[in-house]
Chain A
Amino acid sequence: MSLINTLKALIKREFWEHRGAFVKTPIIISIVMLVLIIGGYLTSLFLVEKMGSGEFTKQGLQELSKFSQDKLAMFWSGQIVSTSLIFIFVLFIVMFFYILGSLYNDRKDQSILFWKSLPVSDMQTVASKLLTATLVVPMVYTIVVMLFSIAIMIFISIVLLVHGFSPIDLVWSPSSLLQGFLLVLTGVYTQMLWALPIYGWLIFSSSFSKKRPFLFAVFVPSGIALGWYWVNMLSFKFTDFTMFKKPLYYLGHSVLPFASGVVSDGEQGHFSFDFDDNTLPSELISRMLSQVISLEVLYGMVFASIFIAIAIWIRRYRNTT
Chain B
Amino acid sequence: MTEMIIANNLSKSYGDFKALDNVNLKIGKGKIVGLIGPNGAGKTTLLKAMLGLTAYDGDLSIMGINPFKERAKLMEDICFIADVAVLPNWIKVNEVLDFVEQTHPKFSRKKAESFLKKTKLGVKQKVKSMSKGMIVQLHLSLVMSIEANILVLDEPTLGLDIIYRKEFYDNLLNDYFDHERTIIITTHQVEEVEHILTDLLFIKEGKIVLDSSMDNLAAEYFEVMVSSENYEDAMSFNPLQSRKVFGKHVMLFKHANRGELEALGEVQRPGVADLFVAMLKDEEVA
Contact = CB atoms under 8 A, between A and B. Distances in A.
Interface string B98-132: 11101111000000000000000000000000000
Contact of B103 (A9, A106, A317, A320): A9
A119 B91 contact: no
Contact of B88 (A6, A114, A120): A114
Contacts of A9: 98-99, 102-103
A317 B55 contact: yes
A114 B87 contact: yes
Interface stretch (A10-18, A62-70, A136-144): A10-18
27 contacts: A1-B103, A1-B104, A5-B102, A6-B103, A9-B98, A12-B98, A12-B99, A17-B90, A110-B83, A110-B86, A111-B86, A113-B82, A113-B83, A114-B82, A116-B75, A117-B80, A117-B82, A118-B75, A118-B103, A119-B73, A119-B105, A120-B72, A120-B75, A122-B71, A122-B72, A316-B71, A320-B53
Contacts of A17: 88, 90-91
Given A111-B86, A121-B72, A116 B53 contact: yes
A211 interface: no
A109 B89 contact: yes
B75 A117 contact: yes
A8 interface: yes
Interface in A100-137: 106, 109-111, 113-114, 116-122, 124
Contacts of B102: 1, 5-6, 8-9, 12
A5 B98 CA distance: 12
Contacts of A113: 80, 82-83, 86
- The prevalent SS among residues of A at the interface is helix
Contacts of A109: 86, 88-89
Interface residues of A, number: 27
A288 B209 CA distance: 68
Contacts of B205: none
A25 B71 CA distance: 37
A183 to B, nearest CB: 35
Interface residues of B, number: 31
Given A111-B88, A113-B86, A122-B71, 9 more contacts: A6-B102, A12-B98, A17-B91, A109-B86, A111-B89, A118-B99, A119-B103, A120-B72, A316-B71
Contacts of A320: 48, 53-54
A254 B102 CA distance: 35
A4 B195 CA distance: 45
A117 B79 contact: yes
Contacts of B81: 117
A5 B82 CA distance: 26
Contacts of A16: 90-92, 95
Nearest to A320: B53
Which of the listed residues B72, B79, B82 has the most CB atoms from chain A within 10 Å of its own CB?
Answer: B72
A114 B55 CA distance: 20
B76 interface: yes
A122 B52 CA distance: 12
Given A16-B92, A106-B88, A109-B89, A118 B100 contact: yes
B79 to A, nearest CB: 7
A120 B81 CA distance: 16
Contacts of A5: 102-103
A127 B99 CA distance: 17
Contacts of B76: 119
Interface string A4-39: 011011101100110000000000000000000000
A13 B99 contact: yes
Nearest to A106: B88
Nearest to A116: B53
Nearest to B73: A119
Contact of B87 (A1, A12, A111, A317): A111
A91 to B, nearest CB: 21
B76 to A, nearest CB: 4
A2 to B, nearest CB: 10
A317 B88 CA distance: 21
B177 to A, nearest CB: 19
